Amino acid sequence: MRNADPSCIFCRIVAGQIPARKVYEDDDVLAFHDINPWAPVHFLLIPKQHIVSMAHVQADDAPLLGRLLALVPKLAQQEGCRPYPEGGFRLVTNTGADGGQEVQHLHFHVIGGPRPWLKG
């Protein structure tokens, strides 16, 4: 497991140093509400281990990412997204400066709920 980065805000949230409104947590994954939501449902899903971005994902990360992505539909519905196909959600991850990544810790935005949304 990769070490936490003490300067990373998401690592500090995982460590309990910064509060967050948690949606889900297990030994490897944390989901919490976005502090600036774009839509009625907007939370972040992160691996607890510090992976900088999708550009840093390695083959041995596949089981963790598979588990993380498998949680998305369940958590989206739990947080208020209507079921597919009438409802749904958006799943976004930004990678690097050109991709709009602001926090250098791999994270997925789960965004949904009735439209119109603030952004997107």
Q: What is the pTM of this model?
A: 0.94
Beta-sheet strands, E only, within 34-107: 41-47, 89-92
Preceding amide of 73 cis, omega within 30: no
> What ranges do the domains of the chain cover?
9-112
Predicted local distance difference test score (pLDDT) of residue 115:
86
99: left (phi over 0), alpha (psi -120 to 50) or beta: alpha
Question: Is 42 considered catalytic here?
Answer: no
Q: What are the phi and psi torsion angles at 87 (to 5°)?
A: -95, -135
Distance, in Å, from the CA atom of 49 to the CA atom of 104, rounded to the nearest integer, reads 12
Whether the Cβ atoms of residue 45 and residue 107 lie closer than 8 Å to each other = yes
Exactly one of 42, 105, 107, 109 is catalytic; which is it? 107
User: Does the domain spanning 9-112 belong to CATH 3.40.50.1980?
Assistant: no
Report pLDDT for 2: 61
3 state DSSP class of 103:
coil
- In the chain, which stretches have pLDDT less than 50? 1
Distance of CA 92 to the CA centre of its chain: 8
- Model confidence pLDDT, tens digit, residues 44-72: 999 999 999 999 999 999 999 999 999 99
